[in-house]
Structure 1
């Protein structure tokens, strides 16, 4: 038997290090080639690392939350003789031998193989069946304690979340009790678990310590930076969107098959573009260390989007050059990429002003946090039918609040109010959105 060392690979784009966000295996697990071993994060992209060989895990070189340099040893495997050599290093690079082993000659480069990202479900089924051929059958895992985190891939966790399943109730058949798609399918086929007869109220004294890692840590750092360095001023105004909603419904009813369904966001983006022409100081980035405000001519709108991994802000670039339908198409494309985890670094950076919306859960009023180093963010709250006095009687109208925050070092309260009032006028008289000049 020999050993094989897996090092953190070069994930591209000049990245020198990555944060370990998840282990899919534990020491003692038997793994097959192409089985997922770990997930690392660079910026806001998550990369999954497969095993290049069959073997047994004998050493893990980092803990979840650790930042690992590219090329550093990450995993050691016990492998069969002849499979314990590493693939050749890139030209011009010399890499140290694994711990406890002398340097060896380098065999020919291995042929390319498909990545597990091509089919997560298929890869997991393949891995489970292959492991069964080299390991004795494992007994069914007992139901986990309430404080114990289930072992499952991000794809399985996403499916369980969408189906409303608590993975602690699912028995895992994979290595170390890892829950596979087949385990989740079997659980869903059985239907929801019935409550234990006679179960009553009881105190819950468990405390779960959750390490802040990956995207959640980056979000925490970004929010802390914004709140510590930006003096926020929040301005709230109600908007009568009855006419806008009627127009939106009519346009969706008569749209071409190749056109996307319109939401409120494209209308708001177009209204913001027109309002920024009169208030260009809100479309800016503030370098407070240099004391310079970078006022942009192009309107690059960040769209705060909730994803299974956390908050991301994909960017619709040059909204000033896009019509209503083009804005809608780009918002849809970026939202899908963010949710799937395929959005590039360029697509997640470079915004000059941000829109945040919680959709139907938007509440009555919010206090949005500015996306540092921007100076303004526009928050959309939910639409509600409310009685409005028209001078003679109360009539039902569709009303929505805009909750918008501004960097008070750069934007005065008066300028913030003028900006939002201009958007209000455009949204309440939506035909003006299409009038140029």
Structure 2
């Protein structure tokens, strides 16, 4: 799957230190220092209604991480998936009478357009689930052969090619904990009751009869009438949610990659389960750091497709909002914070953009401040757990006084904050 056009990221004299990030698994701020190339995986969209401000906030956070790594002198290998076959997409396609593939492609194209407008660095590997069905099916077979998967009878599944009954395939968590370098909850640190509640809320089926453990996740869904399906040794069907990211991440980045990222609503079950699948398949941990963004609310509720309280990037752009102002409005909030979007934030960001553009023109004639010192403070803010509110405050303060080399700061703002003045 093609991604979108990469923005030009200027080089700036000097360099940052390796960024430090909050690691969800340990609850600590840790150094995200790559051993070779910085390898990053961020979970992508399910393309049935893209791109809202909550999406944009997540992808901007990990764009900022990439920019910090690049400024520190590292090469970056970034992979992202597209969940282009899943229950919500199929349900929306049925409800609107649109072919599910056409719906997915239209929303992926809208997402590409939004990301390019916002200046988000694209993934090197932008992989749709439908492009790696064979690899996912092979991974399910591997887990089956290792005794880590089992069937659950499925009364509404289509029969196999020879008329035999087919079954859904589930991951055996307890057996995997005995065999793989992984324990359920080692990333989320949640208690069992909370896990059960979130599992039911976020696509799981804890009450499914025939499962060995209520939290065992689906690996392969047997074919149903009216649903897309692909052949596999387990029978015709399609992937479960968590296994897709495990397979794509391992395929593109290998094991023990630098950072696994996504919204905090993915911590459990998605990231816990993806890490378990990957550990069972490879014998290694999935990632060194698990980093998560906060949730964005609107009108008093978490912004979500199910509630319909979405502020779409494309709608803001159609209304004439400068994408740089959208970017600044998002950067005004720390990536880990939960916060609420208001229409007033666009105006605040537009005024900030105008102040910066007016301030950083010709060099000062006398008693100038040091642009290099401002760049150093900007770098320090971003390497400290991607503290973008502090970074914006650094630039705001610099705009109040003349600088000896405003062009240097302009390059740094573009390189590190992605805002071209």
Q: What TM-score comes out, normalization by structure 1 length? A: 0.21
- Bigger share in strand: 1
Q: What TM-score comes out, normalization by structure 2 length? A: 0.22
Q: Which has the higher contact order (CA 8 A, sep 6+)?
A: 2
